[in-house]
Structure formats: structure tokens, C-alpha cells
């Protein structure tokens, strides 16, 4: 996952603290929760703001300590080892920030789940040394974080700030100056050897990382009944569960299949899988969300109404059961949706892409704020591709 920011003004994982009471470089470490980073280029410490960003802090502590499970994406195993140990700062932009928290070192993965943004007027990118979550759009926080080395006002209310560096800023500066390639990846790995969490004071000690509605990652037992040409897999499904079935023929290489997030009842507790090898193994990973993430598993039978900004009009799309549909464009003609691909992510859905009989092909991301509304962004691929944005409404069964 490329965490949405450009070299000039966007950011993936940000560490830059902006509390007015901490405008200086590094106050004395008294009470609080601290993350001590030991890296291959030295050590530094960040203070975590569990008062104004409790969800992000709870997530970071849980991953750093292994107190909360995360999903190893290649295998589908729920893991409880310390997540950040031995990962790298995989993206460094000189004069801007350092970013880490990607197991594959490419910035395209995470812990297997997402959680919602947290914004506060007390947390802004006014000063350097701010610690924040990287993201790929609203409510897409996972494990990747970044630390800023300069003010980043464009990041306010876009990236969740959850701490600030209080010691070792010279080490952060050193990391920020390493030589990188054209993708901002350091030519020599800068390794996060360990992240140690320290709680100082009664309030810090009482902070409960399991009390903030974060997703719960687990592997569930499966009941498998074999037939002649297929197997029937029974699972413990539930509302707001993101189920992922992994299959293997050798217990070494696993192939994932996203079964989708259950946002409404009724839902199935079984599925049939074809037998395509003499030996076949299955593993179920389930991420349980505390409440609805809104984006449906399918848009079949639904009507999507897009209200584009910048005078681009409105587009109404009806999805049929044959993999297409119809559309009406307020600034043009009506026609057919010839094909589309819908994918469901936590908190968002993607039409990636959608083809029309008389309009430019589009890729659209729908960020849900409720079960029926949200914001849309994407690209229309005319002779010269251009960005589109606005709001949407989704109705139907």
C-alpha cells in the first residue's frame, strides 16, 4: 500500500508534534507513555498522546508489544510477536519525514486491518518531530507511521497524530539524510531493531489498550466435509467480521481469498470449494470489527448517485445482476455500464475500474461515512486523464 502523499506535500506516516504546550524541542520525561526506538543508526524516544489519540496509541502499543494480534498477510496466521522489531524505515524524504511499519519493506502492507482516524485541535503539524499514522485515505490506518522533521500543515485533519519525539531528534535527522533511490527507499536499510514501551505514572499504567474498539484478529477452527469434487467449509461467521480463507497444497505457500466484511444480516456460515489438488489445506483468518465499516460486499441491485465537484455534474448508476448496469449523466447522455469491478475494503469500496458505453472509464474510491453516504474520489481516463471528487449516495438492498 503506497500511503498517499506526494514528495512535495503529502505524507504516509508522520511524526511531528504540535501541542502548543510542547512547542520546544524536548520537555523532561515525567509521567506518560513512551516508545523507545532502537535503530541501526541510534536511538530516540517518542511520547504517545493516549489522551487525544487513544485508538492510535492503543494500536501502536498492541503491535509493538505483541499484546494485540495482527495478521501475517502471506500466511494468514494471527501473530502476537512484536510487530515492529526488525522492520525498516522503508521510505525517507529528506527535509520532510521518515516512515516505517511495513513488513514487506515496500509500504504496500500492514497488520491486516484498518481503524478510524482521530483528529484533535490540540494535535497539529505546526512543528517538527510529530509522530503520525500513514494512510491511503480516510480511516485507513494500520501499522505504518511517520515522523516529521519539518512543519507539515497540509497534514492537519488528514493524518492521525498520536505522539512526538522527545529525545534523539538528532538520530531522526540522521535517518532523514540517508541516501535513497527514486522511490525514496534508503539504499542501505535503516532497521528498527526494537520498540520498547514504557509507562510512567498511574494514569499511564491504567491506560487499557483493549478498551478502544480496535479490530480483533484471530484464526478460527474450520469444519471441512469432503465430497467427490468439492469440499464444504463451515465457519463461525458473524456481523462485522472480515473473513479471509487461505488455501495451500503444501502448508508452505498459502493463497488468500477475501470473503468480504459482513455489514448486514443474513450471512452465510459455509462455502463450497472445488478440489484441485490431492492434498488441500485451509486456514481461516477473521478480523472482527466493533461496528459496521459500511461498505457493502456487493453493489448488485443498488443505485449509486455521484455528485461531482468543480462543475462536473452528477452521475447516477444502477448495477444489475449481470455484471453491468445503466447510467444517466446530468451533463450528457444515458447509456450502459458495460462492466465493473467492485472491491470492499474496511470503511471504503472501490470501482476499479468501471466502464461505460458513452463516458470515459473511471476508477472510483467511495469513502463511507454511513451506510448510504460518503465522499468519492478517483480518475476519469479521457485523452488526458483528470481527477474527480465529490460526494455520493448509495441506495438499494
* DSSP of 338-366: EEEEEEEETTEEEEEEEEESSS-EEEEEE
Residue closest to 206 by CA, chosen among 50, 334, 372: 50
**H or E stretch covering 54:** helix 54-65
Residue 175 lies in a domain: yes
Is residue 297 a contact partner of residue 263, using CB atoms and an 8 Å limit?
yes
Backbone angles phi, psi at 154, to 5 degrees: -65, -15
pLDDT the model gives residue 162: 98
Residue 65 has pLDDT above 60, yes or no: yes
Residue 105: CB atoms within 10 Å = 15
Residue 80 has pLDDT above 60, yes or no: yes
- Whether residues 58 and 137 share a domain: the answer is yes
Quick one: average pLDDT of 350-366?
97
Residue 234 has pLDDT above 70, yes or no: yes
Residue 295 lies in a domain: no
Among candidate residues 206, 236, 268, the one where a domain is terminated: 206
- Whether residues 315 and 273 share a domain: the answer is no
pLDDT tens string 86-97: 999 999 999 999
- Whether residues 75 and 161 share a domain: the answer is yes
Residue 196 lies in a domain: yes
CATH of the domain at 271: 2.60.40
Residue 3 lies in a domain: no
Residue 294 lies in a domain: no
- Whether residues 66 and 166 share a domain: the answer is yes
Quick one: average pLDDT of 55-59?
98
Residue 38 lies in a domain: yes
Domain count, the chain: 3
- Whether residues 105 and 185 share a domain: the answer is yes
Is residue 352 a contact partner of residue 343, using CB atoms and an 8 Å limit?
yes
- Whether residues 25 and 158 share a domain: the answer is yes
- Whether residues 227 and 163 share a domain: the answer is no
pLDDT the model gives residue 21: 32
* Residues of the domain holding 246: 216-288
Residue 229 has pLDDT above 90, yes or no: no
Percent of the chain topping pLDDT 70:
93
Residue 336 has pLDDT above 80, yes or no: yes
User: Residue 19: pLDDT band by 50, 70, 90 thresholds?
Assistant: very low
Residue 155 has pLDDT above 70, yes or no: yes
User: Residue 29: pLDDT band by 50, 70, 90 thresholds?
Assistant: low
- Of the two residues 247 and 278, the one the predictor is more confident about is 247
Amino acid at each position: 500500500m503506497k500511503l498517499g502523499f506526494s514528495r512535495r506535500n503529502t505524507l504516509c506516516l508522520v511524526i511531528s508534534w504540535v501541542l502548543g504546550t510542547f512547542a520546544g524541542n524536548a520537555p523532561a520525561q515525567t509521567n506518560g507513555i513512551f516508545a523507545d526506538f532502537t535503530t541501526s543508526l541510534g536511538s530516540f524516544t517518542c511520547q504517545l498522546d493516549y489522551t487525544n489519540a487513544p485508538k492510535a496509541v492503543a494500536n501502536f502499543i498492541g503491535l509493538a508489544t505483541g499484546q494485540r494480534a495482527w495478521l501475517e498477510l502471506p500466511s494468514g496466521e494471527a501473530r502476537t510477536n512484536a510487530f515492529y522489531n526488525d522492520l525498516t524505515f522503508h521510505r525517507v524524504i529528506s527535509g520532510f519525514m521518515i516512515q516505517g511499519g511495513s513488513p514487506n519493506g515496500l509500504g504496500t502492507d500492514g497488520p491486516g486491518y484498518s481503524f478510524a482516524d482521530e483528529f484533535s485541535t490540540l494535535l497539529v503539524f505546526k512543528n517538527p518531530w510529530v509522530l503520525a499514522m500513514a494512510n491511503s485515505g480516510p480511516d485507513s490506518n494500520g501499522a505504518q507511521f511517520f515522523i516529521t522533521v519539518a512543519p507539515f500543515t497540509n497534514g492537519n485533519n488528514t493524518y492521525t497524530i498520536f505522539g512526538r519525539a522527545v529525545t534523539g531528534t538528532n538520530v531522526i535527522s540522521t535517518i532523514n539524510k540517508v541516501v535513497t533511490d527514486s522511490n525514496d527507499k534508503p539504499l542501505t536499510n535503516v532497521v528498527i531493531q526494537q520498540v520498547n514501551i514504557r509507562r510512567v505514572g498511574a494514569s499511564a499504567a491504567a491506560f487499557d489498550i483493549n478498551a478502544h474498539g480496535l479490530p480483533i484478529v484471530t484464526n478460527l477452527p474450520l469444519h471441512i466435509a469432503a465430497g467427490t469434487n468439492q469440499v464444504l467449509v463451515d465457519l463461525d461467521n458473524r456481523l462485522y467480521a472480515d473473513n479471509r480463507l487461505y488455501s495451500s497444497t503444501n502448508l508452505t505457500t498459502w493463497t488468500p481469498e477475501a470473503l468480504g466484511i459482513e455489514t448486514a444480516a443474513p450471512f452465510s456460515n459455509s462455502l463450497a470449494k472445488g478440489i484441485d489438488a490431492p492434498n488441500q489445506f485451509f486456514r481461516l483468518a477473521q478480523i472482527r470489527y466493533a461496528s459496521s465499516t459500511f461498505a457493502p460486499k456487493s453493489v448488485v441491485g443498488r443505485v449509486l448517485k455521484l455528485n461531482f465537484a468543480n462543475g462536473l455534474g452528477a452521475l447516477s448508476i444502477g448495477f444489475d445482476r449481470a455484471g453491468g448496469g445503466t447510467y444517466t449523466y446530468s451533463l450528457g447522455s444515458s447509456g450502459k455500464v458495460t462492466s465493473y469491478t467492485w472491491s470492499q475494503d474496511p470503511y471504503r469500496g472501490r470501482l476499479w475500474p468501471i466502464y461505460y458505453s458513452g463516458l470515459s472509464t473511471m476508477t472510483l474510491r467511495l469513502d463511507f461515512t454511513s451506510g448510504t453516504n460518503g465522499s468519492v474520489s478517483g480518475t476519469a481516463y479521457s485523452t488526458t486523464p483528470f481527477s474527480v471528487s465529490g460526494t455520493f449516495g448509495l441506495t438499494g438492498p
